[in-house]
Amino acid sequence: MSDTLTLDVIGRRVTVNGEHATVRFAGVVPPVAGPWLGVEWDNPERGKHDGSHEGTVYFKCRHPTGGSFIRPKKVNFGIDFLTAVKNRYVLEDELEEDGKEQIVTIGNKPVETIGFDSVMKQQSQLSKLQEVSLRNCAVSCAGEKGGVAEACPNIRNVDLSKNLLSSWDEVIHIADQLRHLEVLNLSENKLKFPSGSAPLTGTFSALKVLVLNRTGITWAEVLWCAAGCPGLEELYLKSNEIFISERPTDVLQTIRLLDLSSNQLIDESQLFLIAHLPRLEQLILSDIGISSIHFPDAGIGCKTSMFPSLQYLVVNDNQISQWSFFNELDKLPSLRALSCLRNPLTKDDKDTRTTRQLIIAKIGQLKTLNKCEILPEERLGAELDYQRAFGNEWKKAGGHQDPDKNRLSEEFLAAHPRYQFLCLKYGAPEDGELKRQPLMLKNQLLTLKIKYPHQLDQKVLEKQLPGSMTIQKVKGFLSRLLKVPVSDLLLSYESPEKPGREIELENDLKSLQFYSVENGDCLLVRW
């Protein structure tokens, strides 16, 4: 940029030696002669002051060292969208080869042309583009009116993250020329939104995915943008210090995925403001600092009317330390998948398996936990172990083998809301089961009987096997013992407390402990 200045540079996004900043001042700064730009850096450690010089305040910064004065010629104000596309996607080597002189006939006259094929090939290349990535390409504006629509009308997916776009108006100037635009990423642009005006209708009529991570957008601005995106399905708002101040009405009604990660101002009460979005299937709440949640409209064993379509919830990197959090999640009617890594309750590596079992037992409809599928046999083992582990507590709280004589305390029901359901599903725990320790250490040895239902002449054996031993290794052990090929062996087991109830050990990669095999149980071997 030249050293001449105009006031319309205020608010513009710029780069200086690769560092991003916003222009806050343009003018002279006595006693040094010549024009200056006052900039506020995205990285406050890059600056030297707060916008003041020798006692005079020229502009203000959010950080005491966020500002600097820069000569205009050192500042890059960026390039237009179409220039950036050409820089990234036009194959210059091929175009240079086509730039030689050619003779074409126009009417009856031969005309010399230079680069005719080059222009045609360039236009062909751009018109075929459907996905464009211009991350960190210093895009600051749309450029010549109609230029984008003419050169690359078929673009559907645009990544404009970390550029120099300073206003939503410039975004509209670009998007208005991309009628097929479905995916738009504007992350890490500091955008100014129009105040008081209604959003344009039609510009984003085809848009399905909008990414606004680290843009500084407010919740009011989110709702303003959403009003212009009638078919929006995915919205990403990570790291914006968002405070959900009002309930969406007539906007975001088509949203299926909402990412609010790393917005530390969001709390439980704010989540209730978005709890009635009718199509919301995935909600990402990682690193928002949440520790508890309670659905006041649903009692013990009932489902909430909130988040009616929510199937996948992500609450990684939060402050969840109480099991009541998972009790409440069981109230979500459509929840099928949960990710809850790196929380105080789930951080202890020694108890990873136990923690997983307890979460599975507490959330009955869950199919996937931490991106790992919950197989039917894992659910069976988790629920049986849970029932046994808290059986004594259940009995002390008024639990009884006869359901008609159950007089459970409110305290127990609140801590274990699914326990009564599990008793109906599997039968009430008997005294013999309550003396066991089902959530055992991985290397604990199990004393097991081994029977052969189809070979009655075979002697019943008693062996000690590690609980961590896989079914595949158990089959290998039995194959050597019985001189029978591993591929011919079929294993199951039964518990003396539930005679006649046989559970198949069908997954060779799972352990005995996974299937809740315990001391005194009987392995049944067939071939």
Closest CA to 37 of 63, 4, 66: 4
Domain boundary among 162, 192, 222: 192
Containing structural domain, residue 496:
445-526
Q: Which residues in the chain land under pLDDT 70?
A: 1-7, 91-124, 196-198, 200, 348-351, 432-444
DSSP string of 62-110, one letter each residue: SSTT-EEEE-GGG-B--EEHHHHHHHHHS-HHHHHHTTSEEEEEETTEE
**Whether residue 483 is found in the same domain as residue 464:** yes
* CA distance linking residue 161 with residue 245, whole number of Å: 26
Residues with Cβ within 8 Å of 222's Cβ and at least 6 positions away in sequence, in order, are 212, 235, 237, 242
Provide the domain count of the chain: 3
Read off the tokens for 393.
């507590």
The three-state secondary structure class of 417 is: coil
Residue 122 lies in a domain: yes
Domain boundary among 46, 74, 102: 74
**Whether residue 152 is found in the same domain as residue 53:** no
In what side-by-side order are the strands of the sheet with 257-259? 131-133, 157-159, 183-185, 209-211, 234-236, 257-259, 282-284, 312-314, 337-339, 368-369, 372-373
Residue 326 lies in a domain: no
Read off the tokens for 305.
């009317």
Closest CA to 470 of 436, 442, 438: 442
Residue 197 lies in a domain: no
At residue 188, the pLDDT reads 96
What is the identity of the amino acid at 240?
Answer: N
Query: Number of C-alpha atoms within 13 angstroms, CB side, residue 306?
Result: 19
**Whether residue 53 is found in the same domain as residue 134:** no
pTM for the structure as a whole: 0.77
pLDDT tens track for 492-526:
999 887 777 888 998 888 888 888 888 889 999 99
The three-state secondary structure class of 234 is: strand
At residue 460, the pLDDT reads 87
User: Does residue 474 contact residue 512 with C-beta atoms inside 8 Å?
Assistant: yes
**Whether residue 59 is found in the same domain as residue 118:** no
pLDDT tens track for 388-442:
899 999 999 999 888 888 899 999 999 999 999 999 998 888 776 665 444 543 3
At residue 443, the pLDDT reads 43
Domain boundary among 164, 192, 220: 192
Residue 152 lies in a domain: yes
**Whether residue 64 is found in the same domain as residue 84:** no
For position 496, which CATH number holds? 3.10.20.90
User: Does residue 140 contact residue 165 with C-beta atoms inside 8 Å?
Assistant: yes
Residues with Cβ within 8 Å of 218's Cβ and at least 6 positions away in sequence, in order, are 240, 242, 243
* CA distance linking residue 281 with residue 335, whole number of Å: 9
Alpha helices in 178-239 (DSSP H): 219-226
* Residue 40 phi, psi dihedral angles, 5° rounding: -105, 120
The three-state secondary structure class of 135 is: coil
Place of tokens 């005194």: 520
Place of tokens 């305290």: 411
**Whether residue 56 is found in the same domain as residue 139:** no
**Whether residue 157 is found in the same domain as residue 85:** yes
For residue 250, with 0-12 CB atoms within 10 Å meaning exposed, 13-18 middle and 19 or more buried, which class applies? exposed
Residue 182 lies in a domain: yes
The three-state secondary structure class of 169 is: helix
* CA distance linking residue 330 with residue 364, whole number of Å: 7
At residue 519, the pLDDT reads 84
For position 15, which CATH number holds? 2.30.30.190
Residue 353 lies in a domain: no
Place of tokens 């929840």: 335
**Whether residue 68 is found in the same domain as residue 85:** no
**Whether residue 132 is found in the same domain as residue 188:** yes
Residue 472 lies in a domain: yes
User: Does residue 310 contact residue 280 with C-beta atoms inside 8 Å?
Assistant: yes
**Whether residue 33 is found in the same domain as residue 61:** yes
**Whether residue 66 is found in the same domain as residue 129:** no
At residue 510, the pLDDT reads 86
Residue 159 lies in a domain: yes
Q: Which secondary structure element, helix H or strand E, spans residue 328, and what is its range?
A: helix 324-329
Strand partners for 102: 113
**Whether residue 175 is found in the same domain as residue 134:** yes
